[in-house]
Amino acid sequence: MAKAFCSIICFAFLFALTTVSVGQQNSSQNPKVDNPIAQEVVDTSLRFHGAAVKRDMNTIWEIFDENITHFHLDPYRVVGRDYVHKEFADALPQQENLILYMLDPKVQLLADNRVGILTYYIRETWKQEGRAQNITEKVTEVYEKKGGKWVMVHGNYSR
């Protein structure tokens, strides 16, 4: 029961994170913000989304901070890169024909531009067991610049 629950939660979490349609070139799928440092945060999130769609676990590992925390669509919290990475690896094979969109991104920069709080809406469509799925969620991701790279230290996804 716990494994099934965790798979469902991780599955929803993956869709909340993978918010860009890979290969598409319109403005809703290549969102821009005015500040170039803030754009780096958005681009890191998009890189993460693309990696999830492609099932590129190495890139996902690089983007997650060692002590990452995530809240999913329920009160369930996932803690630590090892655990979150494993959940992604287990859930990604369940996704078919994933199309994801990041909508209306906003970035707040803090701590002399070393912390970025990214908020956006995500629209997700996919097939699971042959059935079409479609949801929209609100997302908050927190990134910290470490060693010259932005890493995700926290994510929160809700409807």
Query: Which of 60, 62, 65 has its CA nearest to residue 10?
Result: 60
Most confident of the following: 87-96, 126-135, 136-145: 136-145
Domains and CATH numbers, the chain: 2-158 (3.10.450.50)
Q: How far apart, in whole angstroms, are the C-alpha atoms of residue 140 and residue 44? A: 14
**pLDDT attached to residue 115:** 98
DSSP of 29-68, one letter per residue?
Answer: TS---SSHHHHHHHHHHHHHHHHHHHT-HHHHHHHEEEEE
Token pair listed for 80:
């630590």
3-state helix, strand, coil in the chain (%, to 5): 35, 40, 25
**pLDDT attached to residue 75:** 65
Looking at the whole model, is its pTM more than 0.85?
Answer: no
- Would you say residue 7 has pLDDT above 60? no
